[in-house]
Structure 1
Amino acid sequence: MPTARFEPSTIKNKIKREEIANKQKKAKGQEKLQRRLAQAKAEANDPLAKKKRLAQNVPRTLDNTREFDPSILTANPNSEAGPSTLASQDPSSSADAQSEPTQQPEDETAADIANDPFAAYFSGAIDPSVPPKVLVTTSPKATRTTYDFCDELVGVFPGAEFIRRKKGKGFEVGRIAGWAANRGYSHLMVVNEDTKKLNAITMVYLPNGPTAYFKLSSVELSQKISGHARATSHYPELVLNGFVTRLGHTVGRLFQTFFPPMPEFQGRQVVTLHNQRDFLFFRRHRYAFRSTEKVALQEIGPRFTLKLRYMKKGLPAVKNLGAPSKHLEFDAEEHEQEKLALKDIEMGESGAQEQDEEGEKEPESPKQKKVVPPTEDEYLWIWKPELETTRRTFFL
């Protein structure tokens, strides 16, 4: 008698069909379990068999299937064993692939690091005992969810300060960045929400940028983490993992500037940013040495995931939409500025005469140049999911 009548798809009775399907599924799972146990027992006696199996069965991932571009990357992601790509299918391209790492422009990366806007932080000009001054604010019409997350961020960054964002015109991100830069803040962080859900973070390095925009997802506050530890006021350590490209170096150095250069190791707190598949996973733990070989971790929180969408030069632009056109003739303000300039010249001459008569005076300290946001954006990098080449080339 043929066995086709015992197939679940040929049985019209629903209860009987589900019963036979569940039995077949259970038998298939038991067979797979026995096969895995036998394989593990055989590999326990022969360690080389396990290494050979792992070398032959490497999964295809987004990281190990990217095409190597020496003009962008600072490290070849395909240097380790991985599945074959389109370039490796051509035998003539194997020699070129081997010669690519030698043509890698390492001097360009060194020039980027030396001339980037974060050079002052890493040059040692900043006092390592003083934390960076970070301003944390929200999007307009924020809810309790955003405020709770901002409180967590203030606890993560030692020099952070939270100020509620007012409603109405005149409080654009660019204007807030200029206001913060003129008052000594080194960073601006804007947490955005949509339909009462956190969805983005804008990070601005003051006073001259750049500006990075990240999509925010998988947010979990400290109170929601089971068995979480309590944070202390110690400066945490920072661990950056997977930032191996030129863009990755820029993003990694941006996150480094949010923390003091010298951590306080007695606090045993560590902040980790792990880059995997272009997602940045944020975690904060406290470690404890159980022995000379074992270390225990206890998560403090919060935990969230970031994804870079674009990076701009300078501060966020403030576009004056509907602004009146300028007059062709001179305004009264320009005449007033000319009069003030003449007065300054006259005061300078009179001041010089008074110095000659009364003696030398102490020189006045130069005034800090006022930071004004631009009117147009200039992108350093932008995410374009519709272009496959952009997705493969510009990654962290």
Structure 2
Amino acid sequence: MPAPTVTPEAALLADALDLEESQLAPIGREPLGEGTVAGFRLPGEAEAYAYVDTSLLPVREETGLALEGVARIWMHPADPHLPALAPVAFGEALSILLARLGVHSGGTPVLVAYRPGRRAVVRAAGDGEPVWVKVVRPRRVERIVELHTAFRSAGLPVPGVTGWAPDGILVTAHASGTPAIDAAATGALAPELLLDRVDELRARIAAAPFEGSARTSIATRRGWYESRLRGIDTGIDVLLDEIPRDGGPTTSASVGVHGDLHLGQIFVDAGGQVTGLIDVDTAGVGHPADDVAAFLGHTIASATLSGADASTALWDVADAAAARWRDVPDSAPLSAAHLIGHALAAVDAGDRARARGLLRVAAALCDGRGEHKGALMNAFELA
């Protein structure tokens, strides 16, 4: 296997902290602004993480080292784009915040999701069920509150907003039901029934009274993903060349979409009825194919990370989704863009075999080989 390539971000961080590049463990890299934000675990017994941000996006206040015109470096949780993250990450401060909203919380808050520079999700113990605290860029929080209101006014089961603050904090109730990813992975819901419920949900979202555009289409990120995959090894380069380079959506943005719809965002009851929908930050007027592609891409990625039984069940859902939505304009190239992104994440995690498998699935979707039962899994497992 080729020796790891020293990235510019790793070199900057090593120089700033007086470390060797080999002491830094990469944990991910994402596009941000006109650059990237890359995370690294630092050496030592205690878990410590540092981030190198080359986006050059303006922030209210620097929280680490600012290299003018080059990059900024910060230690988690002092994310300068998310000024509310540091206080929320500590139990005592979060308990005081929640108490002001009438929520009694105990125990240590758990950071369940973090996209540096973009958002974080913290779970706190509430009165009988968890309370969810989302930290976002301050300029986005009011828009997200409006989206929750729009979903709820359309009768969609989005958790209620308990409170919010202009520095980028949103507190919501717990979603009702079982995560659809669990119901799908255990086979508790047949794929076609599950997809019927998803289509019903998509139709209800399409009719919601949104103002403003949804998150920018995943197609805009494809070039960024590819540029970081190329040159890693010959096999990956060859597979990238097999995936057609279609552009962005050719249809007009005309309906309400979630923007990042997948099984992890949907909650269901025992009969498969949708009882909860979360993470609506990305919603707005957009392209129908964006939600189809997000669903298919995430389902495939989840299948490749699951144990044998769950993997089989999720591949069945992916097969059914690919067949059902094959005529949705632009769904195949957008699904491929999602899978290229998942492949980059696999490479960052040191799993190039999984990355190659995901790219083979992307190619199969684009050339029509993924429309038959078992075809997607076979493409992934191809030696």
TM range (shorter): under 0.3
TM-score normalised per structure 1: 0.23
TM-score normalised to structure 2 length? 0.23
Higher relative contact order (CA 8 A, sep 6+): 1
Structure richer in helix, relative to its length: 2
